Amino acid sequence: MEEDLVDLWSQLLLPLRRRVWYAFTPSDAFKCNLQSATSLNQFQYETILQASGILCKKGDNYTFSNSQLDYLQGVLRGRFLDIYINRSKIERNGKRLFFIAVDKPHQNPSAQAKDEPNIRPNRRGNHGLDAE
């Protein structure tokens, strides 16, 4: 992954609410998703995922790259941005979803989904988790 893309990911993740899981893929089963939280449109979001190698095309399908997610996690940890990656047991079309969090969450994505948090824009205009 190129240095410019690592810097871009750092800038996108830094304003996110801490200790909250965000799904890489929007899902009705999980309210917090990374695309909404970063205020990117679908084209911008998919372009960044593909350019960084996190989303790879295999035949007619797209898949997430564990190695690129692990690489991003390691590089950002070295920059004092501690991210966590998780594959959830919340299934969508028979596949597990990937999640990301900044700082270690208190619960797993499944437990967070059961809480059904409200998502509201935070001070920076990004979406995050606010208690009612």
Q: Which pLDDT value is given to residue 14?
A: 93
Q: Which pLDDT value is given to residue 121?
A: 44
pTM: 0.82
The tens place of each residue's pLDDT in the chain, 132 residues long, gives 899 999 999 999 999 999 999 999 877 777 889 999 999 999 999 999 999 999 998 889 889 999 999 999 999 998 889 999 998 766 556 567 889 999 999 888 888 877 755 444 444 444 444 433
User: Quick one: CA torsion of 121, 22, 55, 65, rounded to 10 degrees?
Assistant: 160
Q: Which two tokens stand for residue 29?
A: 């089963």
Look at the chain and count its residues. Answer: 132
